[in-house]
Amino acid sequence: MDPLSDVLSFLKLRSYTFGGFDMGGAFSMQFPAHEGIKCYAVVSGQGWLFVDGVPDPVSLTAGDCSLLPSGRSFRFSSDLSVTPTDVPKTLWEPWRNGGIVTTKGGGDCLIVGGHFLLSGAHADILLRTLPPIVHIRKESDKAAMRWSLERMMLELREPQPGGFLLAETLAYLMLVQALRLHLAQGLQGGVGWFFALADKRISRAISAMHDAPGRHWTLQKLAEQAGMSRSPFAQRFKQTVGVSAMEYLTSWRMLLAADRLTTSRDSISEISASLGYQSESAFGAAFKRVNDCSPRQYGRERNRGV
């Protein structure tokens, strides 16, 4: 798999909800701070998105999709001059059940979306490198989202057997598509794993580590994968990702190890050998540096649900 698919496949969905808001007249709905990622798409109409800490509002029109991965409070308004009001708690229950909530008769602006609660260190790899707002607005990108959006609306408006599961799947598909399209825009100026994937040379080195985590990687071998000499590669990797190439490799190996300790019956020696460690003690020391406990303790605690 490619690195984005690798990390997305590790995202543990603790819970997720989805639904829609069909709003009429002038409105300004204030949403509280949240965990995880919220993903919204405008089906019809238009409005303004304000996110706490972001100085300028974002104009959203039909087909636009936005991800809100920072957990900050936000509001969605039909007009910049409308005074915001908190979303009534009575509206949340039907939304959480996959319904469309109608306000003031609806008809002026329809948005649908999902709320994804994630768990585990793997979620941090993704969330901590994303900007407060990921806005998908290019016509070609909106066309790529349209099928999922239209199909989700059909499932919400005309419930059928199996429709709830299908709508949940479509909401998650919208999330993955939005992240992929955001990456394809060519990110610049940021530091972190997600930004690094937009750098073709650094991305090749990251892909190599993901494809063969147990290989005896050296800085020179990774630089060759990127088509660069050793010193410029080391500097560029650190500047782009925020950690050195070898630190990243260790983090990725420990993420794989942590997952296998809780989802497989592989022994610690088997896991350590498959990840390129010559001895179980060397693996254990690396694991403890990253996770603050031994592999054996980690597996016991997670399997007990601690």
Q: According to the model, what pLDDT value does residue 70 have?
A: 82
Give me the residue spans of the domains in the chain: 3-184, 193-303
Q: According to the model, what pLDDT value does residue 299 have?
A: 76
Q: According to the model, what pLDDT value does residue 223 have?
A: 97
Distance of CA 241 to the CA centre of its chain: 17
Domain 3-184 has CATH 2.60.120.10: yes
Contact between 209 and 6 under an 8 Å Cβ cutoff? The reply is no
In whole angstroms, give the CA distance from residue 106 to residue 21: 8
* CB-facing half-sphere around the CA of 125: CA atoms within 13 A: 22
Q: According to the model, what pLDDT value does residue 306 have?
A: 44
In whole angstroms, give the CA distance from residue 256 to residue 278: 17
Q: According to the model, what pLDDT value does residue 52 have?
A: 93
What would the DSSP string read from start to end of 155-172?
A: HHHS--TTHHHHHHHHHH
The amino acid occupying position 59 is S
Under CATH, to which class is 193-303 assigned?
mainly alpha
Residue 231: CB partners within 8 Å, gap ≥ 6?
A: none
Q: According to the model, what pLDDT value does residue 97 have?
A: 63
pLDDT means per 10 residues in the chain (306 residues)? 73 72 91 87 93 92 88 92 82 68 87 78 65 83 77 76 78 77 64 75 93 96 97 94 92 90 90 94 93 86 54
